[in-house]
Chain A
Amino acid sequence: MNKYKLKVAITRFLLTSLVLILWELGSRYNIINSFIFSSPSMVIKSTINFLKDGTLIVHILVTLKEVLISFVLGIIIALIVSMLMYMKKFLHDVLDPFLTILNSMPKVALGPIIIIWIGANNKSIITMALLINVIVSIINIYTAFTNTDENQIKMFQSFKATKMQIFTKLVIPANIPAIISSLKVNLSLTFIGVIMGEFLVSKKGLGYLILYGTQVFNLNLVIMGIVILIILSYVLYDIIVIIEKKLPAR
């Protein structure tokens, strides 16, 4: 098995290297237009420059901050709302159709209105990200809650457990894996929301950098932005996976 894993890893590495090498060679020998396709070495060079003058770090931190705030807020709101919906059937029955409608509508369409209402600042960006991540998280977590094993609930009830005891001692721990997997979905939606928001209003952040690079036709900048975004989201995703692996099996 370990040998197999090694084989997989090596193949992945070779595949990536091959793409990078072909890209580099193609652009050096003018097989592809290096002005619009850039090249790995040009991207690296521009990255080093941006790192040196300190602007890149600022852009990364701005985006990271927006992502973390929207992510944490989103999950807290989703947990609270789904808990209330689980505890109070009335609330669920009232909210259910609204959630369905909000879930199916393309939230990005609200972007311009949000900017008018909230202003061209990072509050708009966070609102945008929340709008995109929170609805799905509520639906996912609430659905998981309601799928808690009926027999386990019955067992708790037969011991005269209160609704609160059932929730804290059974529903929450039984659904930790579901909550974690909704964290993953939440994270990728948060990135979509934040970058979308940055495209629309921002003067800083990776989304801004990508948009700016496109406008001035600096493709090195655009690709650098995208690559850093990929690395950033992968690192955050990986943190969730590490937490997930530390949990006891359900």
Chain B
Amino acid sequence: MNYKLIVNNIHKEFDTKSGSIIAISDISFDVKAGEIVAIVGPSGCGKSTLLNIIAGLDNPNSGNYYFDTENPKIAYMLQTDALLPWKSVLDNSLIGLKIRKEINEEKISKVKNLLKEYGLKDFIDKKASVLSGGMKQRVALIRSLAIEPDILLLDEPFCALDYCTRLSIEKDVHKIIKDSNTTSIIITHDIEEALNMSDRIIVLTNRPSVIKKIYDLPFDDNINRRSLPNYETIYNSIWEDLNE
């Protein structure tokens, strides 16, 4: 099996005024190429910290992680869309390419096609500030995918959206990620979201966190997962993991 990312014994502490706190005790896992892994866990257990470390924005106190390439391209999608409201939707989508100085005609037209495909055709030249919440998240996703990342990291990307928007965008995002065959890690506190979007679910314990359980989801991609018999069993099992 070819792995995209291997994480070994990550340990992370923070120094605070009241002494140091251990956020992550010891976490190891790996992510296969093209796989979508969901991470769920109680609030404050260190999920964002883990993702920051993988994104290279923070360093672990010990442990290490490897990508299958020397200089992996990482795309990070946060809770807020972080769009630049003074720029057009297209310019927002291209910003990663511009920063990385990888922009060219071919990539621009690819991004335009993605925007068209995901319902943003009429907004390509509009300012990002006029979009609805769900649209903004779609632009943020397209911005992330534009650089053709080796891995896409999503930190509770939909938690600021209302329930209905959320359901439809979950489907969109899942499809966009799968179509582009992008390896992804998604953090969520919503068990259903994890079940709907991922191939594997990693459940973390309370802080200082370790991995409690890993669920390989036996779901095919194209069917409505919710109606499958295993869905509820796994849902209940994760729910118990989190509430013990």
Chains A and B form a bound pair: yes
What residues make up the interface of A, taking CB atoms closer than 8 Å to B?
149, 151-152, 154-161, 165, 169-170, 173-174, 176, 248-250
Partner of B127, one of A156, A159, A170, A249: A249
**B88-105 near A? 1/0 per residue, CB < 8 Å:** 000000011011100000
Q: B96 — nearest CB in chain A belongs to which residue? A: A159
Residue numbers in A under 8 Å from B80 (CB-CB): 149, 151
Inter-chain residue pair count (beta carbon < 8 A):
51
Take A170-B84, A248-B86 as given contacts and tell me if A156 and B78 are in contact as well, using a CB distance cutoff of 8 Å. Answer: no
6 residue pairs A–B, Cβ–Cβ below 8 Å: A159-B95, A160-B100, A165-B99, A169-B99, A174-B84, A250-B129
Contacting pair A159 B147 (CB below 8 A): yes
Partner of A161, one of B74, B86, B99: B99
**B132 contacts partner chain A, Cβ-Cβ < 8 Å:** no
Q: B75 — nearest CB in chain A belongs to which residue? A: A158
Contacting pair B57 A157 (CB below 8 A): yes
In the docked arrangement, what's the CA distance between A249 and B85, Å? Answer: 8
Partner of B82, one of A154, A169, A176: A154
Known contacts A154-B76, A158-B57, A159-B147; 15 further A-B pairs (Cβ under 8 A): A149-B82, A152-B84, A154-B78, A154-B82, A155-B76, A155-B82, A157-B57, A158-B153, A165-B99, A169-B95, A169-B98, A248-B86, A249-B86, A249-B129, A250-B86
Interface footprint category on B: 20 to 34
Partner of B85, one of A158, A159, A161, A250: A250
Q: A176 — nearest CB in chain B belongs to which residue? A: B86
**B53 contacts partner chain A, Cβ-Cβ < 8 Å:** no
Q: B84 — nearest CB in chain A belongs to which residue? A: A152
In the docked arrangement, what's the CA distance between A158 and B75, Å? Answer: 6
Q: B51 — nearest CB in chain A belongs to which residue? A: A158
In the docked arrangement, what's the CA distance between A39 and B129, Å? Answer: 53
Residue numbers in B under 8 Å from A155 (CB-CB): 76, 78, 82
Residue numbers in B under 8 Å from A157 (CB-CB): 57
Q: B101 — nearest CB in chain A belongs to which residue? A: A165
How many Å from the CB of B9 to the closest CB on chain A?
Answer: 24
Contacting pair A151 B84 (CB below 8 A): no
- In chain B, residues 43-67, which have Cβ atoms closer than 8 Å to a Cβ of chain A? 55, 57
Partner of A158, one of B55, B84, B127: B55
How many Å from the CB of A224 to the closest CB on chain B?
Answer: 44
Residue numbers in A under 8 Å from B165 (CB-CB): none
Q: B74 — nearest CB in chain A belongs to which residue? A: A158
**B28 contacts partner chain A, Cβ-Cβ < 8 Å:** no
How many Å from the CB of A148 to the closest CB on chain B?
Answer: 11
